[in-house]
Structure 1
Amino acid sequence: MTQPPIRALTAGEARARAGELADILLDCVAGGASVSFMAGLTRDEALAFWSRVADGVERGERILLAAEEAGRLVGTVQVVASGIPNQPHRSDLSKMLVHRDGRGRGLGAALLREAEARSRAAGWWLMVLDTVVGSEGDRLYTRGGWTPVGIIPNFALYPDGSLCGTRYFYKDLRG
């Protein structure tokens, strides 16, 4: 199986393709993913989110990666600099989103590998993330060699309003 190309989007590309990025986010939320948004997320709210992401890309605070198949964006993830003076070596993996149409083909793993490579290249060799306990993401990060450090029960809400726990992970990219 050939992997689609994973590449960084510029701020301009993110703005130009905000509709596709919004489609991915809306699909993930509709599918029940706990990714900061609740059921009823509107297209305007999703577009506003991606506008803020594009602003962060423009300021150099984050790297926005995307997977594309047949000219359509199907997955995305962000690498976010810590922005904290005593943590210049750290980044957060944020908003790993794969459209339900694109799942089961290794897109998440490809996005994860590229995110790690981009973080390392930026000098951010310690990455952290959190994900819903027992989710596909939980399994993806475990398979990817990330170290789990703990679970916080009732940490967030699923889009339907029910509670979910989160597991924190880290990965040292120095080798």
Structure 2
Amino acid sequence: MNQMIVEQLFSTEEHMEELSELLIQVVDDGASIGFLPPLQLPEAMNYWEDVLSPDVILFVAKRNNRIVGSVQLHLCEKPNGVHRAEIAKLMTHPHYRRNGIGRSLMEKVEKRAIKEGKSLLVLDTREGDPSNLLYTSLGFIQAGRIPNYAQSETGELQATNIYYKVL
């Protein structure tokens, strides 16, 4: 059976290899999520070792018990921002794209944000990426564009779009 489940991870330790492989695959495929290709295994593992904290909730999508996607919900703990959260690092393994994984992860993270009492979600994504279409289809509104935000592997400076959704 080719069933997909989305679940929260409370520890990255037992999933370190799969999470690192996911990160390497999406970065090497061109995703703009803070890293440049080629991403090496030690750097990927180092990232996952430090990702979880009390204000970061990690969800993974599994197909056939294998991690094929992930997303993070960063809860704002500042006194003036306890009502909001940021969605970060939505990833779908390149071999599993266009199968609803990103949408399922986003729906799960939004439900969790509501459960946490959040009324505003924010995120950013590189201008022109397919994720822009996903976010707008889920009701996110583009608040603006920042030019020259992230550098590509070729040194080109690329714009990012900022989105929000009132829950």
Structure-1-length-normalised TM-score? 0.91
Aligned partner letter, 1:24: L
In structure 2, what residue type is equivalent to 1:141? Y
Measure, in 2, the Cα distance between the counterparts of 1:85 and 1:67. Answer: 32
Partners of 2:157 and 2:40 in 1: CA distance: 22
2:39 matches 1:77: no
Decide whether the 8 Å contact of 2:3 with 2:64 is kept in 1.
no
Structure-2 residue corresponding to 1:44: 42
Name the one with the larger helix percent. 1
Comparing 131-140 with 156-165, which one deviates more in the overlay?
156-165
Q: Which structure 2 residue ranges, 5 or more long, are not aligned?
A: none
In the other structure, the counterpart of 1:31 is: 29
Matching of residue 128 in structure 1 with residue 119 in structure 2: no
Instruction: Give the 4+ runs in structure 1 shifted more than 3 A.
Output: none
- SS state at 1:26 partner: helix
Question: Structure 1: which 5+ runs fail to align?
Answer: none
- Structure-2 separation of matches of 1:159 and 1:118: 34
Matches of 2:97 and 2:43 in 1, distance apart?
A: 24
CA RMSD of aligned residues (A): 1.2
> With structure 2 as the length reference, what TM-score do the two structures score?
0.95
Equivalent residue pairs, number: 166
Corresponding residue to 2:93 among 89, 99, 117: 99
Identity %: 34
1:104: how far off? 0.9
The answer to whether the Cα contact below 8 Å between 1:29 and 1:159 also exists between their aligned partners in 2 is no
